Amino acid sequence: QVVPVPVPGRRSLARKEVKNTLTRYRVLGTARGCALLQLQPKTAFPEQLPVHLALLLCPALGDHKHSSRVGRVLGVPFLLPPEAAPTRTQVLDEELLRRLGLSPQQLRHLPLHIHLQQLVLP
């Protein structure tokens, strides 16, 4: 199980309890509470990109696994601890659902929207 840790301790890294990963990102555009990001992983671990997006409080569309870590109070996002955020279908506001042409029942079938643009091999 992958659990995002915003700032891992040196002991955890030394004992290899956590993996040190790096993803560079750039915001290409925003509109009505959504953003198009360009992600550039500098390390390669399973689930790295969805985990990093959750840590940025900006889960990927269709991320039903890690998006539950992002909570909101009065419209302000915050990161929930893993034990307080069981995996569930991603929650989107009604306006975004309407723009996507989806009902809340259809949302659980929405696939993860992370697309490969370029692959650079060393």
Paired strand residues for 36: 29
Q: E strand or H helix at 70, and its extent?
A: strand 70-73
Q: In this predicted structure, what is the pLDDT of residue 29?
A: 92
Q: What is the pLDDT of residues 50-107, one digit of tens each?
A: 988 998 899 999 999 889 989 889 888 899 887 888 888 998 888 889 988 999 889 8
CA-CA distance, 18 to 5, in Å (whole number)? 8
Structure pTM?
0.78
Residue 68 near residue 85 (C-beta atoms within 8 A): yes
